[in-house]
Amino acid sequence: MLRMRYLSVGILLGVLFIQASWVNEGMAQAPYPNRPVTMIVVYGPGMADTMSRAICKVAEKKLGQPIIIENKPGAGGALGTNNIVRAAADGYTVGVTATSTVSIVPHMRKLPFNPLTDLVDVCALYKYNHGLAVRQDSPWKTFEDVIAYARKNPGKFTYANAGVGSTQHLIMEMIAMQEGIKWTMVPYKSGGDSTLACLGGHADGVTMGTVDLVPHIKAGKLRLLLSLNDFRWAPVPDVPNLLEKKYNFYALNYNTVAGPKGLPEPIRQKLEDVFKESLKDPSLVEFANQFGVEIQFMSGKDYSALWRSKYSEREKVIKTLGLKEE
């Protein structure tokens, strides 16, 4: 009898084990996503936030679940990126970051993560555009006026910018190095804050993108002096770009989606496909065109290869410029 009882208990435990395995297997095979996805945007109000929200509004319809935006600005995007890195690798917390955060910031400050090993690139969404603008009533009518002023008044020309280590910060300092001049960057937490600082007279200029600057340019409050890219801005076509001024460098920066190390490839691919299709949405394209934003999708594989190829190059430039941590 005792042996029969042990046998019965053993059979019962075996059945329970098999049932538990079936339950676990069923849970593991549950289609992704089956609940809301959190999207960490590593910047505050401004171009990245505005476009991220517009893109995610379209993407959540194709994904079949709400995408909840959480802004985590600070440290050139490193603060928010650290939140992405620390998230569970299940696809329910990913983030919007930028090329500068993974290829420039690591050479300027100590980070609690390694962008080369701790992030998985999902895809690139669009190219950033950067420009130098001043108030409409300022004495500087052209980019050459600013250069001349900075040459006569070292360090006195100030420009507001969304933090140390951004692409436009690096480009502005490369210009200063080539011209043999000095000017002063005033860091803010976001593009919106930087633009307001210039409008309020707290900085002489501002180096941000079309989302931040174009509305104020159209309103007659700001004047764009130079596109820091290799192309002119569509909303302000008469303003030259950096290459037209005979510089051999320009701002190259993408807005991207990334996840933590270990993100399963099927989930990564699912997200890549969703965002690729979302960027074709006519209403989104029209919205982006209003601000001169150049939507340019790039697969996670291709984008990862691109920014990694620039990693050492950016490091050399930063060391030459002597840029340091905040």
Backbone angles phi, psi at 311, to 5 degrees: -60, -55
Q: What is the pLDDT of residue 317?
A: 85
Instruction: For residue 264, give the DSSP letter.
Output: -
Q: Looking at this protein, which amino acid is placed at residue 227?
A: S
Q: Each residue of 267-286: b (16+ CB within 10 Å) or e?
A: bbebbbebbbebbebeebee
Distance CA 216, CA 234 (A): 15
Q: What is the pLDDT of residue 228?
A: 96
In the chain, domain spans: 37-128+253-321, 131-245
Q: What is the pLDDT of residue 293?
A: 83
Q: What is the pLDDT of residue 21?
A: 46
Backbone angles phi, psi at 223, to 5 degrees: -125, 120
Distance CA 217, CA 150 (A): 23
Q: What is the pLDDT of residue 154?
A: 97
Below-70 pLDDT ranges, the chain: 1-29, 325-326
131-245 shares the fold of 37-128+253-321: yes
The class level of CATH for 37-128+253-321 reads: alpha beta
Q: What is the pLDDT of residue 75?
A: 81
- Chain centre distance of CA 302: 17
CA angle 95, 210, 155 (to 5 degrees): 100
Distance CA 52, CA 36 (A): 16
Helix or strand or coil: residue 236?
Answer: coil
Above pLDDT 70, what percent of the chain? 90
Report the chain's mean pLDDT, rounded to a whole number: 89
Q: What is the pLDDT of residue 272?
A: 98
Q: What is the pLDDT of residue 22?
A: 42
Q: What is the pLDDT of residue 206?
A: 98
Reported residue count of the chain is 326
The CATH superfamily label for domain 131-245 reads: Periplasmic binding protein-like II (3.40.190.10)
Tokens for 10, please give them.
């053993």
End-to-end CA distance of the chain: 77
Task: Please report which helix (H) or strand (E) contains residue 68, including its range.
Answer: strand 67-71
Q: What is the pLDDT of residue 325?
A: 64
Q: What is the pLDDT of residue 1?
A: 46
